[in-house]
């Protein structure tokens, strides 16, 4: 545990960064967000500010350095209906993260967590992870989205919009806690998740009238503070273990014999033509 001051990469000299590395912390956090519409009541930087807040909270607890947050993500699905969205192509985001990881490695850090704050960043970031672990074998790479940090955090994000939430209670509450000066609750509009039963995927302008999915009118600073505290505490605990993590085969040498295999799931197969 540290004194409570986060380690911001951009605020440190090269000697200070080397001191962190040589002090036994070879892990960095890269927060990645987006710049995109979040309904009429929230600023376009919600995803970036949320990811950075969690990263800095974790850093304050652990001393793990936080790289400068990336404010651009993969947001073309938010369409051109609403002004404010600035998007990268998926392949651009993936390549950008690979190049950042290369330079993190040049500074002597061998572990990197990509901390994602935007839902549709996940696919290009997963591609970046594949490229990093293949092209940079000395780098241990992890990917977590904010809502994946724990089951409790996921429940906070998904209770009012399912997996298709956007600018909902959770995001509104986080911003009411972090930057209440940027939130306009008098403009908040609740909208249901209209895509629940859809087979195909649609851009946000074909799902939502106001760029919202969920119940932002419920937003409160207290709920936002609770979400942030849950996320920071859980991720900080996970990363304390990640600092010492070995590869699965390295750990397997010391592991006990595997437990008996679980039973297969039981189900009945019915052919398409069987009407009985």
Q: Rounded CA gap, 59 and 241, in Å? A: 14
Q: Rounded CA gap, 45 and 54, in Å? A: 14
Q: Crossing angle of helices 151-158/221-242, nearest 10°?
A: 150
State the DSSP string of 204-230. GGGT-SSS-BB-GGG--HHHHHHHHHH
Please give the C-alpha separations between residue 62 and each of 1, 71, 83, in angstroms, as whole numbers: 5, 24, 39
CATH topology of domain 9-246: Rossmann fold (3.40.50)
Cα 251-257-258 angle, rounded to 5 deg: 90
Please give the C-alpha separations between residue 114 and each of 108, 142, 200, in angstroms, as whole numbers: 17, 6, 28
User: pLDDT tens, 44-63?
Assistant: 999 999 999 999 999 999 99
- Low pLDDT (below 70) residues in the chain: 1-3, 253-255, 269-276
**What's the pLDDT at 207?**
86
User: pLDDT tens, 159-198?
Assistant: 998 888 999 999 999 999 999 999 999 999 999 888 888 8
């Amino acid at each position: 545990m540290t004194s409570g001051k986060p380690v911001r990469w951009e605020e440190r000299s090269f000697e200070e960064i080397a001191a962190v590395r040589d002090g036994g912390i070879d892990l960095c956090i890269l927060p990645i967000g987006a710049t995109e519409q979040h309904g009429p009541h929230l600023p376009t930087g919600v995803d970036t500010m949320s990811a950075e807040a969690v990263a800095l909270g974790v850093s304050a607890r652990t001393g793990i350095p936080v790289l400068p947050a990336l404010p651009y993500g993969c947001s073309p699905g938010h369409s051109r209906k609403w002004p404010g969205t600035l998007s990268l192509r998926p392949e651009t985001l993936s390549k950008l993260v690979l190049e950042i990881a290369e330079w993190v490695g040049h500074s002597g850090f061998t572990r990197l967590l990509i901390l994602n704050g935007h839902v549709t960043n996940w696919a290009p970031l997963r591609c970046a992870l594949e490229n990093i672990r293949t092209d940079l074998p000395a780098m241990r790479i992890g990917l977590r989205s904010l809502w994946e940090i724990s089951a409790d955090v996921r429940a906070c994000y998904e209770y009012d919009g399912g997996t298709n939430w956007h600018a909902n209670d959770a995001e509104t509450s986080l911003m009411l806690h972090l930057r209440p000066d940027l939130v306009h609750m008098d403009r908040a509009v609740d909208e249901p998740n209209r895509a629940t039963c859809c087979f195909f995927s649609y851009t946000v302008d074909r799902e939502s009238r106001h760029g919202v999915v969920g119940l932002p009118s419920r937003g409160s600073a207290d709920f936002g503070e609770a979400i942030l505290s849950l996320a920071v505490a859980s991720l900080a605990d996970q990363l304390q273990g990640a600092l010492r993590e070995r590869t699965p085969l390295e750990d397997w040498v010391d592991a006990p014999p595997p437990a008996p295999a679980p039973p297969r799931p039981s189900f009945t197969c019915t052919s398409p033509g069987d009407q009985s």
